[in-house]
Amino acid sequence: MAGYQPGEQPQTGKFIKLNTNENPYPPSPKVIQAIQAALEGGLARYPDSVADSFRTRAAEVLGVEPDWILCGNGSDDILTIVTRAFVGEGQRLRLPYPSYVLYKTLARIQAAQYEEVRFTSDWKLTRDFAAPADSLRLAFLPNPNSPSGTMVSPDEVLEIAERLPCPLLVDEAYVDFADQHCLRLVRQSPRIMVSRTLSKSYALAGLRFGYIVAQPEIIDQLMKVKDSYNCDALSIAGATAAIDDQRWLQSNRAKIIATRERMAEQLEQLGFSVVPSQANFLWCTHAKQRLRPMYEQLKNQRLLVRYMDYADWGDGLRISIGTDQQADACLGLLESALDQK
Amino acid sequence: MAGYQPGEQPQTGKFIKLNTNENPYPPSPKVIQAIQAALEGGLARYPDSVADSFRTRAAEVLGVEPDWILCGNGSDDILTIVTRAFVGEGQRLRLPYPSYVLYKTLARIQAAQYEEVRFTSDWKLTRDFAAPADSLRLAFLPNPNSPSGTMVSPDEVLEIAERLPCPLLVDEAYVDFADQHCLRLVRQSPRIMVSRTLSKSYALAGLRFGYIVAQPEIIDQLMKVKDSYNCDALSIAGATAAIDDQRWLQSNRAKIIATRERMAEQLEQLGFSVVPSQANFLWCTHAKQRLRPMYEQLKNQRLLVRYMDYADWGDGLRISIGTDQQADACLGLLESALDQK
């Protein structure tokens, strides 16, 4: 089998990176201070195996109890734990198409099957997504979705969950940039789980910290599958400080959204079709231009965006929202690339 | 199923912790400096997905090539990756008994079977450990073993690997405290893998960093199973500095071994039977005393050791090697516990 191929992460040279949806701003200074303090506290001891300091603070912020939360080494770890807990060999998981390719890789690693249910051309889900199927054990719904940045409303998600014959994981990696979220649904249905990451909206991709919210009976099952000490002492300290600093989050969110809206408008002016986004990236297609050469030209000019080509769907550029300066650099390079045609 | 139960990790109160084989000394100051520098470098970007800086430096120290190394979020992550890569549902893995209980938990999570092959009473392995068996896909050999601290010699390990019908993972979590290791065997056999952790001998249990050495074809397969970004930016920086500081390792190792030898002698004087140890802990039994009440009495006095009771084998105290002062405190409490009988 082929492994999952993450976006390019050049370790040398100066690139403007608008290809993996990282936050262009540094994290809250309180995160750095908390990590410094943990570092002074020492590293020789094992960390708290369930990250209770984070769970306690996150529970207050999110309006749940600590035992509704399980922490992971990035939300990749969470997705792996959930897949292993629910899906056995030869069983099935479901995901929409086009969406996050990693879900398929998780199925393959587990020697499980997957089925993809296509979005409509305007990124809505049909009733097929909730249809019964043999050995279906888990459904993944990235919401907002990648690469589109679109959302399925909480009411629709609840309806899907009620009709599905298996648990539903709502992957809210990008939800802090959206207008709504599905957290309240976790109380309404024991079959809905919501996962989140601190990588994007808290600017902590380098720290690896994610979590899942679900009813305690589910969390208990997931606890048995995770590695004993899956989060390290520094990431627990940093993540706790991050979720505690909601003021930083709101201010960062506002900056990203402002740049997103401006960039979307200017991309439209350049002739791109841009899907209205609820995330920190934009999905851009173009009626008249070939996009792969454009991606390559930008890469030669040391600016990375993500070129994606979905079989039987079409291709596009997924452009992460950077600083205003990075957005302008990207728009400038795209404009010259168009001029040359 | 029941999850793995790690040793007690009290998050509050002052305990002398000699129960989970942590290093009693702080890590190399160079590790702290490297983490500080990485912290200043920022956390908003994803880390290097294969931790090449560590692989490059570790390869030089260990005398292999970087593509012979895969890094993990602690060696628990490594053990999980290897189990998932080699063992399917209903297939089998093998481990010695008594040894590290986590291997059984890994089998259960994978819906796999496990078979335990008993050590002889003097902690040797019989030929049964290498016997053929249906659907046997992986054997785990902790070397030094826990709880005994004993080793199987590299020559014997090679002989076992050559007769086994499956790959052999030699778990060298404690090997830096031993007189020999199995790294050279990886060149001699594509079916031998050696895993290590920085938790014990580098005093970095809080950081979560481990690695495995195997031939590149094996590493390629394991890469496909691991989470894309399984090591965070701070742990990669810290681990690279740690393995670079072999002088610190040798000095720390010498201190631990000196305390271990002194403590073993004094425990024998108190009437315990102590297995000669190649690790940073001692396995102690007693012909005349019940050990569980002794463990409980020490715990009430805020000193933790690990009480273990192996079905059809017997019980004992596994005592981690602390500082000389901690060792003296432990010996003192044990002595009074004995006096009271």
Distances (CA, A) of A155 to A152, A277, A319, B222: 8, 19, 29, 41
Band of pLDDT at residue A116, cut at 50, 70 and 90: very high
Residue A6 has pLDDT above 80, yes or no: no
Q: Does A208 touch chain B (CB under 8 A)?
A: yes
If you measure CA to CA, which chain B residue comes closest to A91? Answer: B89
> What was the pLDDT predicted at B228?
95
Mean of the pLDDT values across residues B92-114?
96
E strands along B145-302, which residues? 168-171, 192-197, 210-213, 272-274, 281-286
Average pLDDT of chain A is 96
Across A6-15, B59-68, B74-83, B110-119, least confident range: A6-15
Q: Cα-flanking dihedrals φ and ψ of residue B85, to 5°?
A: -70, -35
State yes or no: pLDDT of B17 exceeds 80. Answer: yes
Q: A13 falls in which pLDDT band (50, 70, 90)?
A: low
The vertex-A91 CA angle with A142 and B5, nearest 5°, equals: 80
Within 8 A of B208 by CB-CB distance, chain A residues are 47, 73, 229-232
Average model confidence (pLDDT) for chain B? Answer: 96
Chain A, 234-293: which have a CB under 8 Å from a chain B CB? 234-235, 238
pLDDT score at A341: 61
pLDDT band (50, 70, 90) for residue A11: low
User: Of B4, B8, B25, B43, which to mutate for an interface test with A (greatest number of A Cβ within 10 Å)?
Assistant: B43
pLDDT class of A12 with cuts at 50, 70, 90: low
A300-334: per-residue pLDDT in tens? 999 999 999 999 999 999 999 999 999 999 999 99
State yes or no: pLDDT of B332 exceeds 70: yes
Buried b (16+ CB within 10 A) or exposed e, A290-315: ebeebbeebbeeebbbbbbeeeeeee
Q: Looking at beta carbons, which residues of chain A come within 8 Å of B36?
A: 36, 39
Give φ, ψ of B270 to 5 degrees: -80, 0
- pLDDT, residue B341, reads 60
Q: Which pLDDT score is estimated for B25?
A: 98
Does the distance separating the beta carbons of B206 and A233 come in below 8 Å? yes
**pLDDT-derived band of residue B12, with 50, 70 and 90 as boundaries?**
low
Q: Which residues of A touch B3 (CB under 8 A)?
A: 223-225
Q: What is the per-residue pLDDT across B57-66, written as a single tens digit (0 to 9) for each?
A: 999 999 999 9
- Reference A248, options A90, A91, A32; nearest CA is A32
Supply φ then ψ for residue B274, to 5 degrees: -120, 125
What pLDDT, on the 0 to 100 scale, is given for residue A5?
76
ipTM: 0.96
Give pLDDT tens digits for A188-243.
999 999 999 999 999 999 999 999 999 999 999 999 999 999 999 999 999 999 99
Is B225 near chain A, with CB under 8 Å? yes
Q: How much is the pLDDT for B339?
A: 77
**Contact (CB, 8 A) for A117 and A126:** yes
pTM: 0.96
Tell me the C-alpha distance between B42 and B55, whole Å.
21
What pLDDT is stored for residue A4 in this prediction? 74
Per CB-CB distance under 8 Å, the chain A contacts of B22 are 44-46
pLDDT at B11 over 70: no
A144-160 confidence digits (pLDDT tens): 999 999 999 999 999 99
pLDDT above 70 covers what percent of chain B? 98
